[in-house]
C-alpha cells in the first residue's frame, strides 16, 4: 500500500509542508483503501486544493487538474478530436489511393484524440496512479455534475467512435467545492466527505512557522491570535489561511516583529478583500482585535 497508515500520511504530508490533522489524514487513508474519491468542502483559502497537490508530491506521481467553471463541457474535460490532424490526414489520403473507409476508421482512432484531464487520468499507465484534482466542482453546472457522476462510479468513459475505455487502475481523486451551491446527493454518495474548517490556533501557528521558516516566533503567535480573533467577528468575508500566510510574509518583508495599529492598518489589504470589511475594522474593531490578540499572547 502506498500510504501505509494515518500517521504515515501526516508525517509525509508535513515533510511536504502541509499540516494534516488526523480526521483529514484518516479520510485520505480510507480513500485509498475503499478506492473512493475525496470530496473536500470549506471556505476559500483553507487548504482544499493543496491537499491534492501535496498528495501527488508525496506519492511522487502526476497531478492532473481539472479546473471547473460555468459552462465546462466534455470537450474541455474529457476529449476532443484533433481536427487539424484529421484534416491533414484526409488531404494526404486524397493524394494517394486508400479507401474512404480506411481513412475514416483511422481518423477516429485514439491517436487522433486530444486527451483532456478526465480521459488522461483514466488512461494513465504510470506505476503509481495519478492524482486527479477536480477543482471547484460547485462552479460547473448540473449537467456536467451528472456526467461526472457516471465517470466516478465506474471509472470508464465511452467515446462513440471508439467504444468504452476503462481505467486499469483507479486514480486518486480529490474534488473540491467552495459550496457556492449544494452538490447532488448522488455525487456525494460516491465520495468520502470532509469539511476543512478554519484552523485552530495551534494548527495555524504550525502552518505559519512551517511555511515561513525565518519568521519570529512571537510575531507568528501574534498574527495567528489576530486571525483567530478576526474569525470570531462578523465580516463579509472571513480570511482563510492563504491570507494569514500572505500577511505574515508581508510583515517579515517589512521587517516588522510586532503588531501595532499603524502596521496593521497599512497591511489590512493582505487580510481583507472587501472595502466594507476594511472600513469596519478601521472604524472601531481594530483596537478590540489587537487588544484581544495581544492579551491572548500575554497569557
Ligand X SMILES: Nc1ncnc2c1ncn2[C@@H]1O[C@H](COP(=O)(O)OP(=O)(O)OP(=O)(O)O)[C@@H](O)[C@H]1O
Binding-site ranges for Mg ion (CB under 5 A)? 49
Taking residue 69's Cβ as centre, other Cβ atoms within 10 Å add up to 12
Residue 183 interacting with ligand X (CB under 6 A): no
Q: How far is the CB of 19 from ligand X (least distance, A)?
A: 4
Q: Are 29 and 74 in contact (CB under 8 A)?
A: no
Site string for ligand X, 244-273 (x = CB under 6 A): -x----------------------------
Sign of the four-CA dihedral 143, 149, 152, 157? negative
Looking at the DSSP bridge assignments, the partners of residue 173 are 132
Residue 238 CB partners (closer than 8 Å, separation 6+): 43, 198, 230, 231
Cα–Cα nearest to 75, from 119, 138, 134: 119
Q: Are 20 and 13 in contact (CB under 8 A)?
A: yes
Residue 48 interacting with ligand X (CB under 6 A): yes
Nearer to Mg ion, 130 or 240 (CB): 240
Quick one: cell of 3? 500510504
Which residues between 13 and 32 bind ligand X (CB under 6 A)?
17-19
Residue 147 interacting with ligand X (CB under 6 A): no
18 binds, among ligand X, Mg ion, none (CB under 5 to 8 A by kind): ligand X
Nearer to ligand X, 113 or 271 (CB): 271
Query: How many residues bind ligand X, per CB under 6 A?
Result: 18
Q: What is the Cα–Cα distance from 123 to 142, expressed in whole angstroms?
A: 25
Nearer to ligand X, 156 or 210 (CB): 210
CA distances to 7, 84, 135 from 66, rounded to whole Å, are 29, 24, 6
Q: How far is the CB of 185 from ligand X (least distance, A)?
A: 22
Site string for ligand X, 210-249 (x = CB under 6 A): -x-----------------------------xx--x----
Name the site residues for ligand X (rule: CB under 6 A): 17-19, 42, 44-50, 176, 178, 207, 211, 241-242, 245
Amino acid at each position: 500500500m502506498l500510504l501505509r497508515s494515518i500517521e504515515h500520511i501526516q508525517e509525509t504530508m508535513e515533510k511536504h509542508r502541509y499540516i494534516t490533522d488526523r480526521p483529514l489524514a484518516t479520510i485520505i487513508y480510507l480513500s485509498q483503501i475503499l478506492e473512493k474519491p475525496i470530496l473536500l468542502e470549506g471556505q476559500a483559502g483553507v487548504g482544499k486544493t493543496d491537499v491534492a497537490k501535496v498528495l501527488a508530491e508525496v506519492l511522487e506521481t502526476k497531478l492532473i487538474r481539472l479546473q471547473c467553471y460555468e459552462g465546462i463541457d466534455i470537450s474541455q474535460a474529457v476529449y476532443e478530436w484533433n481536427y487539424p490532424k484529421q484534416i491533414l490526414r484526409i488531404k494526404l489520403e486524397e493524394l494517394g489511393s486508400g479507401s474512404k473507409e480506411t481513412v475514416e476508421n483511422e481518423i477516429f482512432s485514439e491517436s487522433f484524440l486530444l486527451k483532456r484531464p478526465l480521459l488522461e487520468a483514466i488512461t494513465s499507465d504510470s506505476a503509481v496512479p495519478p492524482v486527479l484534482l477536480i477543482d471547484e466542482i460547485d462552479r460547473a453546472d448540473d449537467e456536467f455534475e451528472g456526467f461526472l457522476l457516471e465517470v466516478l462510479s465506474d471509472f470508464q468513459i465511452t467515446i462513440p467512435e471508439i467504444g468504452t475505455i476503462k481505467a486499469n487502475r483507479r486514480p486518486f481523486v480529490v474534488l473540491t467545492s467552495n459550496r457556492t451551491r449544494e452538490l447532488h446527493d448522488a455525487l456525494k454518495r460516491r465520495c468520502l466527505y470532509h469539511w476543512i474548517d478554519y484552523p485552530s490556533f495551534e494548527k495555524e501557528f504550525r502552518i505559519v512557522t512551517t511555511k515561513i521558516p525565518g519568521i519570529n516566533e512571537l510575531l507568528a503567535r501574534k498574527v495567528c491570535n489576530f486571525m483567530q480573533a478576526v474569525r470570531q467577528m462578523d465580516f463579509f468575508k472571513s480570511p482563510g489561511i492563504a491570507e494569514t500566510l500572505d500577511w505574515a510574509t508581508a510583515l517579515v518583508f517589512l521587517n516588522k516583529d510586532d503588531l501595532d495599529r499603524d502596521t496593521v492598518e497599512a497591511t489590512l489589504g493582505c487580510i481583507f478583500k472587501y472595502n466594507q470589511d476594511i472600513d469596519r475594522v478601521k472604524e472601531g474593531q481594530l483596537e478590540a482585535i489587537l487588544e484581544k490578540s495581544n492579551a491572548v499572547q500575554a497569557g
